[in-house]
Chains A and B, each alone.
Chain A
């Protein structure tokens, strides 16, 4: 089946109509799911992943606690549920986990944004679908956008070392684009919450609280 579908045709279009470096439609849903402290549903095209975060709370299994110290042992549970699979699964899981942790209010140094990349003969492609992932050597790269540091590079297929640098760099840049999407989703969710909170207090106090909230959000 894979050989009948052109990965990249002469016009520069891929099997789903995208361009070489075009990322799939991405949607982020940060509304509450169940009893989780934080949750996120991230969709890249047809790949959909739900991540729920519980924590910090007391460790459920006594074997995982430290017994010879007097501090409180906490654990953060991250549950990843794959709802639909169409390639780039690790990418979606990492992005959703970052957003769920942010949604749960757990302090993080920075976002972690992931993207998959592949190489079709000499052309690098970004954000691969299931068909493309089966046919091409592919790599998943995760970056922390503020510093540009790379936290994950993983590849289980063979790729010529001459081709690697280009796709690695491209994937890193694409990670920053995804960071933009994630940031705006978090901002709109936070501003909804801040407005809801501010609407309860007095007018003067409420406005000041909103302004503070906006300033703090602008730092990121």
Chain B
């Protein structure tokens, strides 16, 4: 994206191939910049997270900043809508023009479309589908909208997008619902089982038809203020790791490095993206793989890279999990303290 001169490019590449390898900010080839993560930043959303890779100092700016938010909406399952039994997930990525000030609006749209299709195809796959997105079988379900906003890009935006998506999905709570049925009472329509809080379409049923076996046609929230239960399969959401490669010859193993800055990305455009999911104690599952940029790899080189990439992804996964658990504790702790003060 950034345009560098040939001299700058070869300078950066020479740094990678030197021994010991050197990068502009002094990192090792496999070092990540510092990552800042905060969950629950959008109280109006069902789950949210804000992630920043490589922010300069406390209160400083710069770095790759990404905000992800999950919003649940109710969908009817009928021939007019796209609703599916058991719910569905839709992901979108939008890039703020302030993140890419040198791109025209057409190029920005292209970039957004690329990132959206990458995120959506990976996360909406049936192997990752959570089991608690249904409301009423074959009638109503939750549509999970995951929206990711790229606020600034200082390199490695794809890793940031997947990390923040995982964090936002981890933070997501699904409101608890209860099916209600309409029963005919002395010839007039009445509702049993509490007030229906939601504005939903009622199925056409005659109040006089007392011979039909009643079943749930609508649902309600038993507790309006309850956040709900956590989204099922929260440990399955994958992390992505981008291995930036220098153009290798087919005989030798390509040198690779992680977490490229914008300049490093411009100097080494060939990348291998791995999206890996780790269920607890299970083997790693590759949920997605892309090769981006000009260049080629032999299949044995690819095999090697996938093997090391899985190790990097596992380390990233463990570190991210530790932070997510710490965030949970931090937020619950503040809530507990606030209640204690009011006692």
Q: Give A contacts to B, CB under 8 Å.
A: 1, 31-36, 39, 46, 50, 52, 54, 60-61, 77, 79, 81, 83-86
Q: Give B contacts to A, CB under 8 Å.
A: 42-44, 59-62, 65, 67, 96-99, 101-102, 104, 149, 151-154, 199
Shortest Cβ distance from residue A122 to the other chain B in the assembled complex, whole angstroms: 30
| Given A33-B152, A85-B44, 14 additional A-B pairs, CB 8 A | A31-B60, A32-B60, A34-B61, A34-B62, A34-B65, A35-B152, A36-B98, A39-B61, A39-B98, A46-B43, A46-B44, A61-B104, A81-B96, A84-B44
* Chain A binding surface, main DSSP class: loop
**A34 to B199, alpha carbons, bound, how many Å?**
41
Q: Which residues of B contact A35 (CB under 8 A)?
A: 62, 101, 152
* B62 near A79: Cβ-Cβ < 8 Å: no
**A35 to B97, alpha carbons, bound, how many Å?**
11
* A81 near B149: Cβ-Cβ < 8 Å: yes
Q: Which residues of A contact B42 (CB under 8 A)?
A: 83-84
Shortest Cβ distance from residue A38 to the other chain B in the assembled complex, whole angstroms: 11
* Chain B binding surface, main DSSP class: loop
* B61 near A32: Cβ-Cβ < 8 Å: yes
**A54 to B59, alpha carbons, bound, how many Å?**
20
If A52-B98, A54-B101, A77-B101 touch, whether A33 touches B43 (CB-CB below 8 Å) is no
If A33-B65, A81-B149 touch, whether A60 touches B102 (CB-CB below 8 Å) is yes
If A31-B59, A33-B61, A46-B44 touch, whether A83 touches B67 (CB-CB below 8 Å) is yes
Shortest Cβ distance from residue A156 to the other chain B in the assembled complex, whole angstroms: 23
**A73 to B264, alpha carbons, bound, how many Å?**
32
**A1 to B60, alpha carbons, bound, how many Å?**
43
**A85 to B45, alpha carbons, bound, how many Å?**
11
Q: Which residues of B contact A52 (CB under 8 A)?
A: 96, 98
Top 5 closest A-B pairs, CB basis?
A32-B61, A34-B152, A52-B98, A79-B98, A79-B97
Q: Which of A34, A39, A50, A77 has the most CB of B within 10 A?
A: A34
Shortest Cβ distance from residue A14 to the other chain B in the assembled complex, whole angstroms: 18
**A1 to B59, alpha carbons, bound, how many Å?**
41
Q: Which residues of B contact A46 (CB under 8 A)?
A: 43-44
Q: Which of A1, A52, A77 has the most CB of B within 10 A?
A: A52
Q: Which residues of A contact B61 (CB under 8 A)?
A: 31-34, 36, 39
Shortest Cβ distance from residue A12 to the other chain B in the assembled complex, whole angstroms: 24
Shortest Cβ distance from residue A116 to the other chain B in the assembled complex, whole angstroms: 19
Q: Which residues of A contact B43 (CB under 8 A)?
A: 46
**A34 to B97, alpha carbons, bound, how many Å?**
11
